Amino acid sequence: MTTMTEASVREFKMPDVGEGLTEAEILKWYVQPGDTVTDGQVVCEVETAKAAVELPIPYDGVVRALHFPEGTTVDVGTSIIAVDVSGGAAPAEETSAEPAAEEPKPEGRQPVLVGYGVATTSTKRRPRKGPEVPVQAASAALQSELNGHGGTVAPAPATPVPAATPVPAAAAPAAAVRERPLAKPPVRKLAKDLGVDLAVIVPTGPDGVITREDVHAAAAPAPAPVAEPAAAPAPVADAALVPAQDTARETRIPVKGVRKATAAAMVGSAFTAPHVTEFVTVDVTRTMKLVEELKEDKEFAGLRVNPLLLISKALLVAIKRNPDINASWDEARQEIVVKHYVNLGIAAATPRGLIVPNIKDAHDKTLPQLAASLGELVATAREGKTSPSAMQAGTVTITNVGVFGVDTGTPILNPGESAILAVGAIKLQPWVHKGKVKPRQVTTLALSFDHRLVDGELGSKVLADVAAILEQPKRLITWA
């Protein structure tokens, strides 16, 4: 592979399109080597742990090479495409799809995407200069390990070798004398998830760096031994231990992108914030009538009006009456941070997984403005075009499980938030109204909150206020 060192070739690196993300998967390339690109043209779509994002190229030129194929997960700061800004055609020997070993240093200010925070250093790792470990020390460690089993090892001559030299499999007990294995953070996390010890992996990457392929190879099950003719058939229980290869009976789905981030966030939230969930069942017949009236109001022409709109407004009014619910916990400073604004999150199910975009400064919006924001939020989420910024800095969240026919649930807090309201299905039920049992539109609300900063009294008041507004929606006027 020929390294591209011409001054006219610019390397575009994978940007951090979120906050502190370390990698992204290339979903689709929109250009190929030889294509002409212009500043601002979208060249690929990538999926991060938060959303799918289209990446525009920040300069004009001709595509020289695509360093990674579609479906590859690339670390932030790694070059993904080379562009000849002089407009020349790419030489034949430089059409390799492998990443360049070295990248030219940017001249002056490197063009970056606004808010993306491209890393300013190369991902190339220099060789480690560590102390040399004599073979004799490794042999001594092995001798000590084998003494308890009656084994003996002849002492080796004290010839120094670099510490990064791979230790043979037979000398695995001496791995303790090796230095910390070289691997990038995403590779270390992959090894941890798969239960693979990095110390026993022989690296194949440049400069002794362990790659993803090395980890997967180490995690792969060993081939089943060939049975001898005279051997008895293996028990059924042992056969069950062999990984099943029948794809008709099982489907394995890689956990990555939004789904992986959601799983990690929910585990972190569940085991960090002490959750409390309270429930209330309420007659929302009057709210449903108001929804039908608003649909006919010219102020809402072209807007989507549904129960979620009035439920959102009811929660905003309840927060205004009980502002301490709108807070977060600062672990570093051991402080409760009360927010004087409401960024209202709406949990949305998408093909890529659950996301929670939020409406910024929802507390300042009129009912028609809130309806417009909700409609835009839902449409953008369904198209998979929600931006990372739309999912940041939320304060409270609503999750509408009723659309799936579910009566209620115990929702888990969105990380960094103090409360989440689950709305159950609205359906006709027998209800005592004005002393008589009548069919009424009824739903169940569930409010989960962080008990470190929200006590039972505050949480109960907020939930009771939401229920009271939905039962008598005229309180939207009297309480606002």
CA distance 267 to 210: 28
Q: What is the pLDDT of residue 150?
A: 44
Catalytic residue (choose from 67, 149, 340, 451):
451
Query: If DSSP states are collapsed to H, E and C, what string results for the chain?
Result: CCCCCCCCEEEEECCCCCCCCCEEEEEEECCCCCCEECCCCEEEEEECCCCEEEEECCCCEEEEEECCCCCCEEECCCEEEEEECCCCCCCHHHCCCCCCCCCCCCCCCCCCCCCCCCCCCCCCCCCCCCCCEEHHHHHHHHHHHHHCCCCCCCCCCCCEECCCCCCCHHHHHHHHHCCCCEECHHHHHHHHHHCCCHHHCCCCCHHHEECHHHHHHHHCCCCCCCCCCCCCCCCHHHHCCCCCCCCCCCCCCCCCHHHHHHHHHHHHHHCCCCEEEEEEEEECHHHHHHHHHHHCCHHHCCCCCCHHHHHHHHHHHHHHHCHHHCEEEECCCCEEEECCCCCEEECEEECCEEECCEECCHHHCCHHHHHHHHHHHHHHHHCCCCCHHHHCCCCEEEEEHHHHCCCCCCCCCCCCCCEEEEECCCEEEEEEECCEEEEEEEEEEEEEEECCCCCHHHHHHHHHHHHHHHHCCCHHHHCC
Look up tokens 């060249």; give the residue.
43
Look up tokens 């990698």; give the residue.
23
Q: What is the pLDDT of residue 20?
A: 60
Distances (CA, A) of 453 to 295, 336, 449, 471: 39, 7, 9, 28
**The pairing of beta strand 348-350 with beta strand 335-338:** unpaired
User: Under a CB-based contact definition with an 8 Å cutoff, are residues 356 and 16 in contact?
Assistant: no
* Of residues 76, 61, 73, the one with CA closest to residue 18: 76
CA distance 326 to 338: 6
Q: What is the pLDDT of residue 243?
A: 54
Q: What is the pLDDT of residue 16?
A: 78
Q: What is the pLDDT of residue 351?
A: 74
433 in catalytic set: no
Q: What is the pLDDT of residue 49?
A: 66
Q: What is the pLDDT of residue 450?
A: 92
CA distance 409 to 382: 23
**The pairing of beta strand 348-350 with beta strand 396-400:** unpaired
Q: List, run by run, the mean pLDDT of 10-residue segments along the chain (480 residues).
A: 62 78 85 91 82 85 92 89 74 42 44 40 46 46 45 46 45 47 76 79 82 79 51 48 64 73 72 86 97 94 94 97 94 91 92 86 95 93 84 93 93 91 96 95 96 94 97 93
Read off the tokens for 290.
């108001």
Domains of the chain, each with CATH number or no CATH: 1-124 (2.40.50.100), 133-154+167-219 (4.10.320.10), 258-478 (3.30.559.10)
How many other C-beta atoms are found inside a 10 Å radius of the C-beta of residue 59? 14
Look up tokens 């570093």; give the residue.
332
User: Under a CB-based contact definition with an 8 Å cutoff, are residues 57 and 12 in contact?
Assistant: yes
For 436, what's the count of Cα atoms within 13 Å in the CB-facing half-sphere?
2
User: Under a CB-based contact definition with an 8 Å cutoff, are residues 380 and 52 in contact?
Assistant: no
Q: What is the pLDDT of residue 93?
A: 40
Longest dimension (CA), the chain: 98
Task: Report the Cα 217 to chain-centroid distance in Å.
Answer: 25
